Amino acid sequence: MRLGHRLGHRPGHSFGHRFGQKAVAGLTTLLLPVAALVGLASPASAATSATATYAKTQDWGTGFEGKWTVKNTGTTALSSWTVEWDFPSGTSVTSAWDADVTSSGTHWTGKNKSWNGTLAPGASISFGFNGAGTGSPANCKLNGGSCDGGPTVPGDNAPSAPGKPTASDITNTSVKLAWSAATDDKGVKNYDVLRDGAKVATVTGTSYTNTGLTAGTDYSYTVQARDTADQTGPVSGATAVRTTGGGTDPNPGAKVKLGYFTEWGVYGRNYHVKNLVSSGSASKITHINYAFGNVKGGKCTLDDAYAATDKAYTADQSVSGTADTWDQPLRGNFNQLRQLKAKYPNIKVLWSFGGWTYSGGFGEAAANPAAFAASCKALVEDPRWADVFDGIDIDWEYPNACGLSCDTSGFSSFKNLTAALRTEFGSSYLVTAAITADGSSGGKIDAADYGGASASLNWYNVMTYDYFGAFDADGPTAPHSPLTSYSGIPAAGFNSADAIAKLKSKGVPAQKLLLGIGFYGRGWTGVTQSTPGGSATGAAPGTYEAGIEDYKVLKNSCPATGTIAGTAYAYCGNQWWSYDTPATIGSKMSWAKSQGLGGAFFWEFSGDTGNGELVTAINNGLN
């Protein structure tokens, strides 16, 4: 019996052609008093008791999400409000909320609803809208008067956006923020520090410590520069901070529901980010791992620039329903993920590096963990796509062990690498890892310090699949993702329960373990025995790779005929396959909850049916 199997993700079957990456400019979020925009007309009367400011909260090139905020700056209550502005030709509001928005030509009006017109002194209210086009509002009026941002100074440009703040020294009640300076043609005077969109301080330097916070609470910080004429520039990127302590989960009982999206799937598989929406899967997941970035020269690197940042999408192919343009700063999967997050703001996206094919690069990275971590942070925070990613996932599938190649970096190398990543990324980012599920005595889980490394990570994606398959061409036939052991299993410890138990025994908290589900099957041909344990002559044919086929194909071509160890198997003709079905996934999710696990993940979206029945089974099973 040969056990030269792969305990890891399948590599990309076809990465497609590589195209040169276009140099593009960074995107910044706009947050300006609209009266400061070029082209403001002076009103006949001033609304001295209130202000209106505009924020472009999302931007996908030819469309955007905007938000108006009306604030009562006076000493008496405001009984109603009406905001008016002009858009250039070609820019329009397509939908709005929390206000009645109408237009006359290029002139737009937003009036309060019956329930949000009254504003007490110091209070504010916001309403939002989705827009088409690329223009910005001008000629703002609030209740017929000025939106009160102060006129622009002729010949004096507003300052640039400061750098995205970094967070350090986080305690139960405070956090220290620091950022790189903005630039201005006349000089920067100071910076406004915004917490959850509201100003909490104005400082002259490039750091600030915010105190008086609540333990165990999530906050979002941005920074905005002011020049010597008191003009404000665009806000920086946002940094999420969670204070320590508190003792409670912000969403008690919530489970992680994570799926891998493959970069190369946009080629032969014709699977795109929009498919997450059309299948209904986007509303049933919490996280996406974008796979894979490469690891070369001891650094994190972008793998396929064409698929990630350059591929142009037509209106019918895109999440937003708008077509990419030739001069758009960012296209491809990254821009589609940006649009997905605008539509489903609960989804967090992590950039996954490594995988079975690229894990060989981690040995060099482990020689200088700090330099590797710095390279990853710089790539994740590239200004072209910094808003897309909420963290990083490391798929080092065989540290201090053999896989596609052999690694000899040592027992502590994985722990050292993850510790460096956490130090570099801080607490505001997710840092996770996909790891082996080899629960055998002396196997891959024993080869690295997974217990020690878990302190630096939010969770482990435990790859509880690919235990058995036609890489052993003559069998015996066995389920590739057994939940438990069973009589006749070809290798002890090669099952989910043993892997999870071993990781717990090494000190990994149960809530930091996610159970892995494969959205595909593994199969043999030349099989005469319908039950597990039969001999075979080789790998069954597959669409992209022999011995592997998507669930969406197998459910019809070779329907399940039985179950073994919590996983379905199928015998049809002379072929024998094993794969998970909605029913077996439901049982596995129940088991995961009984074990106190943090949730589940799956490899990968494109193997599911067009209506996302496997994602639905995970969602239902974990709720």
- Report pLDDT digits (tens) over 457-469: 999 999 999 999 9
pLDDT given for residue 56 in this prediction: 85
Integer-rounded Cα Rg, in Å, for the chain is: 27
Helical (H) or strand (E) element with 362: helix 362-367
pLDDT given for residue 40 in this prediction: 32
Please tell me which residue, 104 or 135, carries the higher pLDDT value. 104
Q: What is the pLDDT of residues 191-245, one digit of tens each?
A: 999 887 778 999 999 999 999 888 777 788 889 998 887 778 888 888 888 787 6
Helix (H, G, I), strand (E, B) or coil at 587: helix
Query: Which of 544, 547, 545 minimizes the C-alpha distance to 579?
Result: 547
pLDDT given for residue 220 in this prediction: 82
Once rounded to an integer, what is the mean pLDDT over residues 411-431? 95
pLDDT given for residue 196 in this prediction: 77
pLDDT given for residue 29 in this prediction: 34
Q: What is the pLDDT of residues 310-356, one digit of tens each?
A: 999 999 999 999 999 988 889 999 999 999 999 998 999 999 999 99
Residue 280 falls in which region: left (phi positive, over 0), alpha (psi -120 to 50) or beta: left
pLDDT given for residue 229 in this prediction: 78
Q: What confidence tier does 148 reach under pLDDT thresholds 50, 70, 90?
A: low
Instruction: Give the tokens for residue 509.
Output: 């908290």
- Cβ contacts of 248 within 8 Å, gap of 6 or more: 216
Whether the predicted pLDDT of 606 surpasses 50: yes
Question: What CA–CA distances, in Å, run from 47 to 76, 141, 148?
Answer: 13, 9, 7
Q: Which residue has the tokens 């099989």?
A: 527
- How many CA atoms lie less than 13 Å away from 147 in the CB half-sphere? 25
Once rounded to an integer, what is the mean pLDDT over residues 531-539? 98
Q: What confidence tier does 361 reach under pLDDT thresholds 50, 70, 90?
A: very high
Q: What confidence tier does 31 reach under pLDDT thresholds 50, 70, 90?
A: very low
pLDDT given for residue 363 in this prediction: 93
Whether the predicted pLDDT of 388 surpasses 90: yes
Whether the predicted pLDDT of 19 surpasses 50: no
Is residue 549 flagged as an active site residue?
A: no
The residue annotated as part of the active site, out of 84, 263, 397, 549, is: 397
> Mean pLDDT for the chain?
87
- In order of their start, the domains of the chain are 30-146 (2.60.40.290), 166-237 (2.60.40.10), 256-518+580-622 (3.20.20.80)
Q: How many CB atoms lie within 10 A of CB 442?
A: 9
Q: What is the dihedral of CA 280, 283, 285, 289, to 10 degrees?
A: 80
Whether the predicted pLDDT of 9 surpasses 80: no
Instruction: Give the tokens for residue 552.
Output: 């969406």
Whether the predicted pLDDT of 276 surpasses 90: yes
Positive or negative: CA dihedral 265, 268, 271, 272: positive
Query: Which of 478, 604, 579 minimizes the C-alpha distance to 535?
Result: 478
Cα–Cα distance between 338 and 344 in angstroms, integer?
10
Q: What is the pLDDT of residues 32-86, one digit of tens each?
A: 333 333 333 333 233 347 888 888 888 777 788 889 999 888 788 888 999 999 9
- Cβ contacts of 457 within 8 Å, gap of 6 or more: 418, 422, 431, 432, 433, 512
